[in-house]
A and B are shown apart, each in its own frame.
Chain A
Amino acid sequence: MVLEDFSLPERGAVPRGGSFQSSSHEERGPWPASPRDRLAATVADFIVFLPILALVIAPFSREAREAQILGSEEAWSAAVGSALAAGFFALLVYQTLTVLVFGATPGKLALGLRVVSTSLPGGHRPRPIEAFLRALFWCLEVCLLGIPWLAVFSNERRRPVHDRVADTEVVTYSKSRRAVPAEPSLVEMSLASGFQSATLAVCAMVLTVEITRIQTRYASLESKIMRLEEEGYVCPEIKEAIDKSSVRRLDSTKDRLETALSLYLSGAVEKICVEAEAELALWKNEEAPLAYFAKAVAFEDIEKAEPYFEKACDESMRGDVCKAVALIRGSVREAEEEGERDRDAENQHERETLKVLTSIDETSPDYLRTLAVRYLVEKRDNESALSLLDAAMSFDGARDFAAQERAKALWRLGRKEEARAALTSALFLLGPEGRLNLAQWFCRNEVLASGCSSESTAACSQVREAVNDNEAWLHRPEIASAYLHTVSCSAKEESLQSLTERLPFMTGRRVAAALLKAQKGERREAVLELQEILKGSSSNRGVFLTDANVLLASIAENTDELAPVQSAWSRMDERSEGWLTVGRSLLKNLVRLGSWDAALTTGLKLRQEDRFDRESLELTLLAAKKAGRPIVEQTLLTGAERRPSSLQKRSRK
């Protein structure tokens, strides 16, 4: 049994007589204590000291926890620092006092070890200064994770640094338990002290690095904390936008909400920013209607949002918030009806929202205009959207949105030269992601509408640059498709060949393969491949599906080959942009193949959805003439002029 049975005769008093140098030393002891015993003694000391330590640290630990809860880093660091200091001090006192009074710490006592002074003869208890020095260095070694204790192996008398500094030694009076080094092993000694020095050096270096790192981090943390406290936890983009504006204020709930809404609706911030602002406003009981609206907009689930919409606008249809609610409800209702479309109900909603739209002008808040533009684009009323966009939007995010939508709207209206000019100025204005988005859109639309041309090169080169910089962009389907078109227009077979493997989308790879075949002149094989793709796809959406359709339409040489495109088109969602692209391509190629009746039907369907496309109008008129249907011709022409757009009229004022 290692631990002393204390019922045995007390051995606290150190026996006198006989110094270390005496010849009978070998028989009577004391002998150096074995390191294993000392280790066990440290463990026992730990058991005894731990509760005391817990007590000493208690108040600081409480402070630390409170600071952590409150998220206050400086207070936490201060509390932890104090706790560490208090713990160190307590350990120091423990070691010093027990050695002074009992001649050993409780753990050593339990193992039958004693600390004796080597400066006094006869195995005396250490003097106060010795006890203190020993304890001090012992505690410092603890701070270095106890590595310096390895020095216990560095000499025969098993005296590590703290023993040598303090002129002390740890001994046992039991011969069987003494330390028995075989011989003064030089290897053992140098390993121990060398390892120790190396560890100390490494610790010193690590400490220096850590301290510098903490200092720099603290410096930036401080400023970050100050900023957060100032902003009250709003998203930084919102704060930036408000700072840049001369009229908006950060402490005005209305300004913050409107800014957040406008940035979110133009895609510049995440919905969590809007949510946070809305919650803030609601619980402060300010701007309740706008706040309810903002919260509703942030919901993805329309059912959850509906009660909030009602709370946002429960009186007559006045006020900006009510207009915004009407717009969202208008576009949502259409999205809901996936199956049969009820045209009468739709027209009714259209008239209501039209009333709302007429009241929106340059003085309306940005978020409302952004919402109106989105609504108009969805309804394919690009003229009205354009007139709204022409008035300046005040926030960066909204400005980017406005620039992109202007270029796209001009294109959709068929004013291609203006669109390209708008594209150039927009590319100048936008950030990298916005640039890529716009370039990709234009590249695809140019190529799909009129094949490879010098116009398409401008936009497509942006796409190529971006993808060559960072291939990860290819994981976005629109960008991958735009890149595919860029490569195919450059007519480099090897690049196209590599794309058939590199593209991350299976349909995309197959379209690339078909493109390659077409370029090589294997037209029939390309047609077969494309027909397979169209047959096999289960969904009727998808970027590459549009590409496949357009490609097949352009290389088909008879109506049989074109048939799959027609059936695929009939399955597509008429409200999607892909539907328009494929439809126009279909119309063009049906006219090319001389299939007038089919072309006329296609053209009429397109006309229903897309009122202002001149090119399709001309092609449809041609088809009508060739098919011998002049009445239709008339209706088409008058229909085009007669369809009113009160927004259009108003903007001409």
Chain B
Amino acid sequence: MIFPVLRGLLSPLLIPVTFLLFSLNLLVFIVTLGENEEGDRKIEAILSNRSFIETQGAAFAQMISRQDGASVFSPMLHQLAAKALNGDSDSRRLLGNLAVRNATFMRDAENYDFVGDEIALEKWRSAFKELKSVQAEHPTYQWGLSRLHNGWLQYITYQFSHSGIVHLFWNMVFLLLFGGFVETTLGGSFVILSYLGGGLLGAFAYSKLSGISSSPLVGASAAVSALIAFVGIVGMVRKRKLRFFYWLLPAEGYYGFAYLPSWLVLLVMLLPDLGGYLAATRDFGSVAYSAHLGGAAWGFAMAAALSVGLLRSEREKPFRAQHSSQIEPPGDSQNGPKAA
């Protein structure tokens, strides 16, 4: 196992910009926590109703089967629908759960002319209406990027909203590590540029590669991916090492800290995203790999710009492989840009 520690977690005085971003993320999470939980609870109550899911599955299957060709619904959905209509209850339940994520269904189902068990359909319709109204008020749907809300505001706000404490935790850890590193070496403006630019390009890539669905896109992962890619590539170009923690065996000497080549960052943290994207099934999956890739592309672009001189750091302090964990004395920050 290897884990990048770079310069470690630094104090807010040294990395104010990064800390600002961190606080924004944390603040949004805390503020929306209550509403989030309540909304989740209501949605869970509706979706855990077995007959609701089964009716919804049959309805979705009907909608899919009436659609010719594979343009609107993927071939796999068509196959599932055929099985469901033929009596397979597993496929039916699966479709019932998938329906909530399918933008076409969520948009059209309310007024669609379904033919089937009238009594069950009545109950389903009222529950479905309730589901939509709960979604409209749910913070994740308001902050995140989905078919319901896809204005330009959402392209920015989605980066500060998270789907759970674990999601938030890991994103913030890497934000503080990599963002802190960039800020202390190149300056705060690079951090902001990476973060927001990565978030925007990530959302854009997501909308083009995966398509905006009815499940909202949330998280700072794309933005953080940009930071990671930026660090990795600049380090590679400048042939510098980065500080890692490694653990190979539970024997002394086989774990500890070391300075390892920068390309390891890309290999270990970004290549899995590419693999995940290629392996992801359409309509399934809860990780938006395409957004990560978009963010990483932005980081790559920024690194290229830095290398050819389009971007310049006023700190003029290149990456240095330091063998101690000492940071530059505070006086140096006078030369850098005025960090926000």
Contact = CB atoms under 8 A, between A and B. Distances in A.
A47 B280 CA distance: 22
B321 interface: yes
Interface residues of B, number: 50
B307 interface: no
B306 interface: no
B256 A1 contact: yes
B76 interface: yes
A11 to B, nearest CB: 15
Interface in B18-37: none
B232 to A, nearest CB: 13
Interface string B262-299: 00100110011011111111001000000000000000
Interface string B78-98: 011001011111110010000
A72 to B, nearest CB: 9
Interface string A32-59: 0000100110011001100110110111
Given A283-B58, A311-B118, A311-B119, A6 B259 contact: yes
A5 interface: yes
B258 interface: yes
A47 B244 CA distance: 13
Interface in B137-174: none
Contact of A280 (B87, B115, B249): B87
A276 B83 CA distance: 13
B87 A234 contact: yes
Given A40-B249, A70-B80, A55 B88 contact: no
Nearest to A72: B79
B271 A308 contact: no
A2 B252 CA distance: 9
B261 interface: yes
B193 interface: no
A6 B263 CA distance: 13
Contacts of B258: 1, 3, 5
B278 A233 contact: no
Given A6-B259, A7-B321, A51 B248 contact: no
A276 B89 contact: yes
B90 A52 contact: no
A605 interface: no
B1 interface: yes
A216 B18 CA distance: 61
Contacts of B1: 47
Interface in B103-161: 115-119
B89 A59 contact: no
A71 B276 contact: no
Contact of A284 (B79, B85, B268, B281): B85
Describe A's contact surface by its main secondary structure. Answer: helix
Contacts of B260: 3, 6, 110
B253 interface: yes
A66 interface: yes
B208 to A, nearest CB: 19
B116 A283 contact: yes
A62 B277 CA distance: 10
Nearest to A277: B87
Contacts of B117: 279, 282-283, 292, 295
B248 A232 contact: no
B246 interface: yes
B118 A47 contact: no
Contacts of A285: 115-116
A253 to B, nearest CB: 11
Contacts of B241: 6-7
A623 B1 CA distance: 96
B248, B260, B272 interface centre (most CB from chain A within 10 Å)? B248
A69 interface: yes
B275 to A, nearest CB: 4
B251 interface: yes
Contact of A62 (B2, B254, B279): B279
Contacts of B256: 1-3
Contact of B279 (A61, A283, A295): A61
Nearest to B283: A69
Given A7-B259, A54-B271, A71 B249 contact: no
Contacts of B267: 48, 51-52
Contacts of B246: 3, 44
A57 B260 CA distance: 27
Given A71-B83, A232-B86, A232-B87, A1 B253 contact: yes
A36 B249 contact: yes
A71 B94 CA distance: 11
Contacts of B115: 283, 285
Contacts of A184: none
B97 to A, nearest CB: 11
B194 interface: no
Interface in B214-265: 241, 246, 248-249, 251, 253-254, 256-261, 264
A216 to B, nearest CB: 25
B126 to A, nearest CB: 14
Contact of A52 (B79, B249, B259, B271): B271
A55 to B, nearest CB: 4
Contacts of A55: 271, 274-275, 278
Given A6-B241, A44-B248, A233 B2 contact: no
Contacts of B87: 232-234, 276-277, 279-280
A173 to B, nearest CB: 17
**3 interchain residue pairs of minimum CB distance:** A58-B278, A54-B275, A51-B271
Given A40-B249, A55-B274, A58-B278, 7 more contacts: A39-B249, A47-B268, A54-B276, A62-B279, A70-B80, A70-B83, A283-B58
23 contacts: A1-B257, A2-B254, A6-B260, A36-B249, A36-B251, A39-B249, A44-B248, A52-B267, A54-B272, A55-B271, A55-B278, A57-B279, A58-B275, A61-B279, A62-B280, A69-B76, A70-B80, A71-B83, A232-B87, A233-B86, A233-B89, A277-B87, A279-B117
